[in-house]
Amino acid sequence: MDPGSHSVAFPRRWWYPVARSTELGRKPLAVTLMDTPLAVFRDAAGVPAVVLDRCGHRNYPLSLGRVTGDGLLQCGYHGWSYDGAGQCLRVPGLRQVRTQSTWHVPAHRCVEQDGFVWAWGEPDAEPTRSPYSLPVVDGRGAGETVFRCDLDSTLRASLENALDVPHTAFLHGGLFRGKTRNTITAVRRPIEGGVEVQYLGEPAGMGPLRLPETSSRTFDHWDRFLLPSIAQIEYAVEGWFRVVNTLVQLPLSPFRTRAWFVVRFSSPLPAPVVQTVVQLQGRRILRQDANALARQTERTRSLGGERYASTELDLLGTAIWRLLNHAERAERTNGSDLPPASVSERRVVFEA
């Protein structure tokens, strides 16, 4: 069971998505990572860079400047110009720029992968791992659709909401699951970097939709959490279709989270048809979730913190809390007094 209340966990020595690759053009982009303002830009070679959104001269936001022809981020106030490592290389009017630590702005190592720019959460530090690689979904009718939503929610609550099966029959009744209650077995297992739950016995179909091809079959269904901010839902019927919805999330502040929904699929239907259905159905469900999370956050803040009671049905919510908090504590102590993070295996039978 969760403690009565706690602060928002934010492990820094991990990769976080700060932008989609397509968002970066000739102008710098302003984003925030847990209330820290960042400027994201591409250098002359097209390589992305992430620096603190603050000029070392007079604190003017670097995101309001421009990228020069030789790929430096130039402040729009006095023209100080920085490279991707945060080093000031040019000051208009000075014949020679001396290397001074006070002129340096903190920089976050970044990589471009799977259509996203990922930034290492700790500035001026060497990454110790690679970003999570989104799964490839290929085969007949393969395609992808991506949409974004900013949620009034903590990262932890947003992750739990995405992976919480019991709420779907109530908040999304008729949209996601049908009116008939089904007995489902959930099996929770630890995986590298996170935890997953496999659901057994779930009839194939979405909401009231039960297609003849799948009327007597069940879904292969997994929900996964991967540190620090990935939620993933996978549904498949062998030989017929597969859909993997990966939520790539950025904690903008303690109570605001940006989520990109990367839905990759294969099916016997043409990809444009599936894309349209996913967008329409997905956005309807998302509106309900976003509203519920906003109301949850509003009440949480008015009462001064989270006060949760959990049951054996909260298989992923409690695991997410443990893993996030363990990762944060391990950074504070360099892991010297903590055992490895672990989530126990568990099997639960419930109705949904």
CA distance 221 to 235: 5
Query: Is residue 43 within 8 Å of 83, Cβ to Cβ?
Result: yes
Give the C-alpha separation, 20 to 113, whole Å.
9
Has residue 91 got a pLDDT over 50?
A: yes
Residue 218's DSSP bridge partners are: 203
CATH of domain 143-351: 3.90.380.10
Residue 239 confidence (pLDDT): 80
Alpha helices for 260-349 (secondary structure H): 271-302, 315-333
* Residue in this structure with the two tokens 């062998």, named with its chain if needed: 238
- The continuous run of DSSP H or E covering 220 comes out as strand 220-226
pLDDT tens readout for residues 281-300: 888 899 999 999 999 999 99
Give the residue carrying structure tokens 């209650």.
181
pLDDT band, residue 261 (cuts 50/70/90): very high
Q: Is the pLDDT of residue 240 over 90?
A: no
Report the share of the chain in percent with pLDDT over 70.
89
Q: Kindly report which listed range (49-53, 223-227, 320-324, 345-349) carries the lowest average pLDDT score.
A: 345-349
Cβ-based neighbours of 311, under 8 Å, separated by 6 or more: none
Place of tokens 């999330």: 249
Task: Tell me which CATH homologous superfamily contains domain 15-120.
Answer: Rieske [2Fe-2S] iron-sulphur domain (2.102.10.10)
Local confidence band at 182 (pLDDT 50, 70, 90 cut-offs): confident
Count Cβ atoms below 10 Å from residue 146 Cβ, excluding itself.
Answer: 17
Write the pLDDT tens digit of every residue in 71-86: 999 999 999 999 999 9
76 burial level (CB within 10 Å; 0-12, 13-18, 19+): middle
> Any bridge partners for residue 187, and if so which?
198, 347
Task: Check residues 20 and 217 and name the one with the higher pLDDT.
Answer: 20
What SS3 class is residue 160? helix
* Residues carrying CATH 2.102.10.10, the chain: 15-120
φ and ψ at residue 134, rounded to 5 degrees: -65, 140
Report pLDDT for 208: 44
**Residue 266, token pair as written in the block:** 């294969």
- Looking at residue 5, its pLDDT comes to 41
For the full predicted model, state whether its pTM sits above 0.85. Answer: yes
Domain with CATH 3.90.380.10 in the chain: 143-351
